Structure 1
Amino acid sequence: MSSDHLVRPTNADPHLIDLPLFGQPLPNGTAAVSSIPAEPLTILGSTRPDVDWTLVASLRSLASKQLSQAMAAATTRLDKPAQAELGRAIVLDLIESAMAERVDAGDGAWSGVEQTALAQAVFDSLFRLGRLQPLVDDDRVENIIIAGHDNVHLELTDGSLIDGPPVADSDTELIDFLVFLASRSEVNARGFSEAQPRLHLRLDGGSRLAAAAWVTPRPSVVIRRHRLMHVTLDDLVERGMLSALLASFLRAAVRARKSIVVAGCQGAGKTTLVRALCCEIDEHEAIGTFETEYELHLDQLGRHKIVHPWEARPGSGERGPDGRLAGEFTLDEALVDSFRFNLSRQIVGEVRGREIWAMIKAMESGTGSISTTHASDAVAAIRKLVTCAMEAGAHVTHDLAASKLASTIDLVVQLDLTTERIPGGFRRHRSVCEVIAVAPGERETGYATTHLFSPDAAGDARPNVLPDEYRALASFGFDLGAFLNEQQVLS
């Protein structure tokens, strides 16, 4: 579509996107909607008019078919912005036709506000998250929890939990949209069906979606929003997540290329802390990230000049003779490939199972890798990682897994999440509660741990014991004097 067909009003709202204007008025003289807001209206406190979601689903299906046909007929490959522009034109054309039919049937025309809301809803369903999009765009919403289309809860940034609006008209409609959403990606489409009843998907803007259906009584969906993208250790000190002393220790550990595992419960801020740790990596170092779904987004933050992000692909269809699904691409394969990319650092994202071996390989290279895992405390994190390693097969014994981890992991940083009830709601507190050093140890466990920082009465990490090898971090900026002084006061 050429720019000659686009019209920008002289008093254009900066939140609107240029769209083609339709030349002929509708039978009753009402002008067709000429633009779709660049950002959807928020649901919380929103005045968005009611939308006929059955009509939205029908128009989305028609728009999807027309868009696919137009792209197939195009002489050149359309990038995402071009697809969105073409999609807007198709959506508005369909709405114009639908309203003309409505007027001809004597039902009356939609108002301009209703047209815009309908156009936005169809566009969101086609390119974004449909009825979920306003919730994802609302900065007050941290997590979206769905246990059925009409059983929606919103976890807000202040820790409060409130009811949310229905996200579909039925569970079947919700599942259908999730299937469409999973298959929409041209680069890393994922299956979601009775044969593949679980879905993990990254969303635009850094959010992460996890869903399950057919194996749960009702479709279950959780969307986690990552609000802190550009974040440093100093920012986390200001937020009360850790002390300035601990920040100096972690900063020095990253610069000294210590391999670090960040552990904690769900929602404790593990990914946020990893981003802050990665900010301490020199901007000229070449970094590779390895994730099942992109979450770190170091390549988009602008801090580092060279970032190569890898994302696993689950594969689909029948398993081949080697037992692999067609198109499957694992983190282990990505890591093997990465050794040809002249990387300075290899950052493996969340470890839940077999990803542990990718993490071990990265840490064995001695470049100072960083990973995350779920655990209730720092020592439990090591036990869990041993179990994860043993899931690779019977050939991986406890002794082998423990010795591998003891020789590769230097530090485990444990995060704690507490929620307290206050008048009018809740207040959440995220903090680093302990840091342990890991080393080869007794035969019974295969590893030894030392609490460098232990939780105080409030649950915040305070100096405990510092082995001689970690005193050397003073040359990388660690405030050793402050550690020893506070250690003496606490003892």
Structure 2
Amino acid sequence: MTNDTQTPPTPATGPDEPGKRPRRLSSVPLFTQPPHPSPPARARATRGALPPRPGEPLPEPPLPPLPAHLVEAVEAVEVDWSLVARLRQRASEQIARAEHADGTPSDRADQKQRGLAIVIDLVTSANTERVDAGSPAWEPAHLHALTKAVRDSLFGLGRLQPLVDRPDVENIEIAGHDHVRLQLLDGSYEAGPPVADSDEELVDFLVFLASRSETSARSFSPAQPNLDLRLDGGARLAATAWVSTRPQVTIRLHRLVDVTLDDLAANGTLTDVQASFLRAAVRARKSIVVSGAQGAGKTTLMRALCGEIPYEESIGTFETEYELFLHEMPDRHAMVRHFEARPGAGEVGPDGRPAGEYSIDQLLRNSYRQNLSRQIVGEVRGAEVWAMLEAMESGSGSLSTTHATDAENAIHKLVTCAMKAGPGITPDLATRKLAQAIDLIVHVDLDLTVGTGAGAGAAGQARPRRTVSEIIAVNRGEQAPGYAVTHVFRSDGAGPGLPHVLPQEYRALARYGFDLDAFLRAGRGEVA
């Protein structure tokens, strides 16, 4: 006979019930510690090689396949840019009519797919009209080049797109539509082609580009003559017009995003001992400022330092324009909350801020409920130094960059930035706050040498050499100037800095992997 009687479930017992053992918190699911996630295998990546992530612009739809033997022919085609402008206008009108007929606006991906089909049809029609008028038909290479130019003008960077697409170009410098210079990855320069038919056309395109951006639309006008823009795809554009005789534009292309301290040691930017010291400093949550001239490689070193943050930590980045791209490296960082400031585009309100502005200060303040392990304020050029100080004073180990001629001068530069916040900020106050918050300043020296040997740039051209020439420890000072510095590493004038004097408290970095013996063996390293 089957017993259908079921044993009733045992009621949960509380810790105060007599005769019952209290339950351990670890047995309650809420308090059970999950195993630490292991970072997936690293894959070295360059900017643009990563798959699109949520919220990022989708890649351009591909053009019809081109036979390999025509690739060089396409690059040699001289495109009629006046025709490109006319076809772009027609394509834009057709896309607008199609969306109006659908009754609902399409998303960006649909626009690009529909736009490419329209562009191909328009180019084919233009070729037919050309033949009907008695002219020879365009060769396949010409058709491909024209189609790409119209597509780039419609959805990309127009005449700038071929320059941005070149893998050997690191920076694009423009001083007027027909004065273009390209800085290559090896540090050499070459002249670039005109990027517009006139300065007015270049400015008009920049205005269009600023308003069209999918990710960070900005205003660019005589009332706001400076433009800092993150382009779709990650490059950074800085432009100025109306306050100079010709429009000035610089585009920085972030080619290598995933870089490590070991990589920089291998290419001579720093030594193995410096890498060991900096790696341990990051892991010990020291607050670090990276200083250097424009183009010295501050952001590259910053990415390498951030790469030493343990994988499982939750990181927050706060930037005026995205440059670190830590959020695009899930194999390096498990959780990155990335924030980008938004400049105002309207009239100044009662609070003294332009309408629509959302500053780094506001971003940082509102991040305190995001459960962040570290707050990283990117580049400091002005009053955002106070956001940097706030992040560093939390004691979690922050990092920032600034422009300066040497490590100690970075303190003076940051004092100047702090005083921009208002007349109530005195040099003494700013110096005292900086001396309390900053642990280390790492200076990247940019040296221009001329050479034609192996590894040099083009013959007779200056080739930049980047080295970590100084690492100083910062402490509060009892007397003027209000701070004290110790040169942990100092260059002898050639190459990266050598071990110099290690403050006693930094011996503890050995617990985090610092090779103290190597420091003492190398050069004249000593402990204070």
Q: TM-score, normalised by structure 2?
A: 0.82
| Inter-partner Cα distance in structure 2 for 1:75 and 1:299 | 36
Aligned to 2:256: 228
| Inter-partner Cα distance in structure 2 for 1:120 and 1:434 | 47
| Inter-partner Cα distance in structure 1 for 2:246 and 2:181 | 15
Closer, same or farther: CA 17–390 of 1 in aligned 2, 3 Å: closer
Aligned to 1:23: none
Match of 2:124 among 96, 105, 110: 96
Matched ranges for 1:40-189 at <5 A? 47-68=75-96, 70-71=98-99, 78-189=106-217
Q: Aligned to 2:501, what secondary structure does the other structure show?
A: coil
| Inter-partner Cα distance in structure 1 for 2:239 and 2:273 | 40
Closer, same or farther: CA 35–379 of 1 in aligned 2, 3 Å: same
Match of 1:471 among 496, 499, 507: 507
Q: Aligned to 1:139, what secondary structure does the other structure show?
A: coil
Q: Do the aligned partners of 1:16 and 1:36 also contact (CA within 8 Å) in 2?
A: no
Q: Aligned to 2:366, what secondary structure does the other structure show?
A: helix
In the TM superposition, residue 486 of structure 1 has moved relative to its aligned partner by 1.7
Aligned to 1:277: 305
Closer, same or farther: CA 97–265 of 1 in aligned 2, 3 Å: same
Aligned to 2:267: 239
| Inter-partner Cα distance in structure 2 for 1:263 and 1:285 | 25
Q: Do the aligned partners of 1:412 and 1:436 also contact (CA within 8 Å) in 2?
A: yes
| Inter-partner Cα distance in structure 1 for 2:60 and 2:285 | 47
Per-residue deviation, residues 321-380 of structure 1 (Å, max 9, x unmatched) = 333222211111110111111111111111100111111111111111110001000011
Aligned to 2:448: 419
In the TM superposition, residue 420 of structure 1 has moved relative to its aligned partner by 1.4
Q: Which deviates more, 74-83 or 119-128?
A: 74-83
Aligned to 1:450: 486
Q: Do the aligned partners of 2:174 and 2:180 also contact (CA within 8 Å) in 1?
A: yes
Match of 2:343 among 303, 306, 314: 314
Closer, same or farther: CA 131–446 of 1 in aligned 2, 3 Å: same
In the TM superposition, residue 433 of structure 1 has moved relative to its aligned partner by 0.2
Match of 1:401 among 415, 421, 430: 430
Closer, same or farther: CA 274–412 of 1 in aligned 2, 3 Å: same
In the TM superposition, residue 313 of structure 1 has moved relative to its aligned partner by 1.0
Aligned to 1:27: none
Closer, same or farther: CA 212–430 of 1 in aligned 2, 3 Å: same
Q: Do the aligned partners of 2:502 and 2:526 also contact (CA within 8 Å) in 1?
A: no
Aligned to 1:410: 439
Structure 1 unaligned spans of 5+: 1-14, 20-33
Q: Do the aligned partners of 1:16 and 1:35 also contact (CA within 8 Å) in 2?
A: no
Q: Do the aligned partners of 2:441 and 2:472 also contact (CA within 8 Å) in 1?
A: yes
| Inter-partner Cα distance in structure 2 for 1:16 and 1:452 | 49
In the TM superposition, residue 16 of structure 1 has moved relative to its aligned partner by 11
| 2:470 alignment partner AA | E
Closer, same or farther: CA 313–72 of 1 in aligned 2, 3 Å: farther
| Inter-partner Cα distance in structure 1 for 2:108 and 2:237 | 21
In the TM superposition, residue 90 of structure 1 has moved relative to its aligned partner by 2.4
| Inter-partner Cα distance in structure 2 for 1:488 and 1:99 | 73
Q: Aligned to 1:317, what secondary structure does the other structure show?
A: coil
Aligned to 1:377: 406
Instruction: Give the number of the structure whose alpha-carbon radius of gyration is greater.
Output: 2
Closer, same or farther: CA 373–18 of 1 in aligned 2, 3 Å: closer
Per-residue deviation, residues 385-405 of structure 1 (Å, max 9, x unmatched) = 001001000111111111111
Q: Do the aligned partners of 1:17 and 1:35 also contact (CA within 8 Å) in 2?
A: no
CA RMSD of aligned residues (A): 2.4
Closer, same or farther: CA 61–51 of 1 in aligned 2, 3 Å: same
Matched, 1:208 2:226: no
Q: Do the aligned partners of 1:17 and 1:36 also contact (CA within 8 Å) in 2?
A: no
Aligned to 1:431: 467
Q: Aligned to 2:251, what secondary structure does the other structure show?
A: strand
In the TM superposition, residue 421 of structure 1 has moved relative to its aligned partner by 1.3
In the TM superposition, residue 418 of structure 1 has moved relative to its aligned partner by 1.3
In the TM superposition, residue 35 of structure 1 has moved relative to its aligned partner by 5.9
| Inter-partner Cα distance in structure 2 for 1:328 and 1:378 | 32
Per-residue deviation, residues 406-448 of structure 1 (Å, max 9, x unmatched) = 1111110000111211122443211100001111113422221
In the TM superposition, residue 159 of structure 1 has moved relative to its aligned partner by 1.9
Aligned to 1:391: 420
| Inter-partner Cα distance in structure 1 for 2:200 and 2:252 | 23
In the TM superposition, residue 75 of structure 1 has moved relative to its aligned partner by 6.6
Q: Aligned to 1:450, what secondary structure does the other structure show?
A: strand
Q: Do the aligned partners of 1:159 and 1:419 also contact (CA within 8 Å) in 2?
A: no
Matched, 1:356 2:392: no
| 1:464 alignment partner AA | H
In the TM superposition, residue 108 of structure 1 has moved relative to its aligned partner by 4.4
| Inter-partner Cα distance in structure 2 for 1:62 and 1:300 | 36
Q: Aligned to 2:194, what secondary structure does the other structure show?
A: coil
| 1:482 alignment partner AA | A
Q: Aligned to 2:468, what secondary structure does the other structure show?
A: strand
Aligned to 2:516: 480
Identity %: 61
In the TM superposition, residue 79 of structure 1 has moved relative to its aligned partner by 4.4
In the TM superposition, residue 451 of structure 1 has moved relative to its aligned partner by 0.9
| Inter-partner Cα distance in structure 1 for 2:213 and 2:250 | 19
Q: Do the aligned partners of 1:36 and 1:119 also contact (CA within 8 Å) in 2?
A: no
| Inter-partner Cα distance in structure 2 for 1:416 and 1:487 | 20
Q: Aligned to 2:346, what secondary structure does the other structure show?
A: strand
In the TM superposition, residue 203 of structure 1 has moved relative to its aligned partner by 2.2
Consecutive aligned runs of 4 or more in structure 1 exceeding 6 Å deviation: none
| Inter-partner Cα distance in structure 2 for 1:477 and 1:92 | 59
Q: TM-score, normalised by structure 1?
A: 0.88
Number of equivalent positions: 459
Structure 2 unaligned spans of 5+: 1-58, 453-458
